[in-house]
Amino acid sequence: MVKITQELLRKRSEHNECEIGTLEELSLHQEDIEKIEYLQNWCRHLEILLLQSNLISKIENLGKLKKLRYLNLALNNIERIENLERLESLEKLDLTLNFVGELTSVRNLKDNYNLKNLYLTGNPCTDFKGYREYVITVLPQLEQLDGVGITRSERITANQDFNDYSKSIVGDQNAYRKKRENTKPRITELTSSDEESELEMTEQELKAFWDAPSQNTPEDRIAIAKKSRKLRDIDRNRSEKKAKPKPIKLFTSDGRPLNINQSRIPFKLTDDDESGCKVLDVSVYRYLDTSLIDVDLHPRYVTINIKGKVLQITFDEDIAVDASTCQRSQTTGHLVVTLQKANACLKPKPPRKREKPSIPPPKYSVQSKREYLEIGPVDRDMDFSKIVENNTRKKYEAKPTRKIVPEKKPSPDFVDNDEVPPLV
């Protein structure tokens, strides 16, 4: 099954920048590990070690972990508590849902003076009469057993009846050992027959296998784990075969290239008759690295590989490969391929109509438009370029003459009325 390797440890030590030597916490749960090895040499500074949901059958190779405070071995195949005497900093030990039937092996934890919490829930030894009292008496340093606090009065009563409990526990332990010896050969026969026929099992047989009750033994757990792993591998291989893409057909049987746009990326191919070339504008993703683009130009087609996806375009005439260019826009990211035609007929450019240059009006012309911000009459007194012109104009200009109008005499019938005031 799975072994502990440096690659596996680095994969589980991303929180420590993949450094193994300075690890303080390590989780190797649900990896189907069968044996503990190399950890005490590679990770000596471990304080928390999580090995639950594996297939470990023996506690070993942990004696050099002097800083280890918490060890989780729940849901494994451990049948005996051993090889933990040197873990002087161990405070919590979790052996939930294992197969510990030898309860007297709890004495091996007597030298772990810092051990405060011990979990043995779900083990066969918990069914023995006087199990709790026996553990409390053998391990006086414990404060909690199976998540339940130990009181002083409970410890005193357990010490008083220790001899009676120890005898019954030894008897239950021997009975459990005989039961285990009887179930081992039957289980090995079943597992060997299953290994031979597991590849030929139908869906109904698989369903019957998973629905059948197990004996809840380490061998059963190992067999179930192996079968589930092999079935997962078979399903993975099938899915990989289904997901394997078909090879892309770029050419016909007679060698003619085909138009292919595997990535469905938009492009535009235009003709420029004036320069005698074709312009291929491919809308490549703006932030795609240029190293992921490969262009292969041939006289009759061009193949562009964009991040593993092929874009192939054929031409209706030959292209001069050496005279063509390929550039990428730094603003839009588009790929622009200028394809020079091999037999291009350059058309003359149409003559352009020459437009007469517009003569700007003189700077100090009288007909110039007034500015919007000017207020009052246009001041041209400071125009020194027209001093002489203004003087000659004033000489020959006709001076206005004042016309003298004779006073009108009143008519002979006029009567002056004194009551009417004068007009002036």
pLDDT in tens, 58-82: 999 999 999 999 999 999 999 999 9
Say what the pTM is: 0.58
**Is the same domain home to 315 and 232?**
no
**Is the same domain home to 88 and 224?**
no
Query: Could you tell me what percent of the chain has a pLDDT over 70?
Result: 80
What secondary structure, in 3-state letters, does the chain show? Answer: CECCCHHHHHHCCHHHCCCCCCCCEEECCCCCECCCCCHHHHCCCCCEEECCCCCCCCCCCCCCCCCCCEEECCCCCCCCCCCCCCCCCCCEEECCCCCCCCHHHHHHHCCCCCCCEEECCCCHHHHCCCHHHHHHHHCCCCCEECCEECCHHHHHHHHHCHHHHHHHHHHHHHHHHHHHHHHHHHHHHHHHHHHHHHHHCCHHHHHHHHHCCCCCCHHHHHHHHHHHHHHHHHHHHHHHHHHCCCCCCCECCCCCECCEECCCCCEEEEEECCCCEEEEEECCCCCCCHHHEEEEECCCEEEEEECCEEEEEECCCCEEEEEEEEEECCCCCCEEEEEEECCCCCCCCCCCCCCCCCCCCCCCCCCCCCCCCCCCCCCCCCCHHHHHHHHHHHHHCCCCCCCCCCCCCCCCCCCCCCCCCCCC
Residue 239 has pLDDT above 70, yes or no: yes
**Is the same domain home to 223 and 304?**
no
Lowest-pLDDT range of 53-67, 238-252, 368-382: 368-382
pLDDT at position 144, please? Answer: 96
**Is the same domain home to 78 and 192?**
no
User: Which domain, by its residues, includes 51?
Assistant: 6-174
Lowest-pLDDT range of 82-86, 148-152, 221-225: 221-225
CATH classification of the domain holding 50: 3.80.10.10
Question: How many domains does the chain contain in total?
Answer: 3
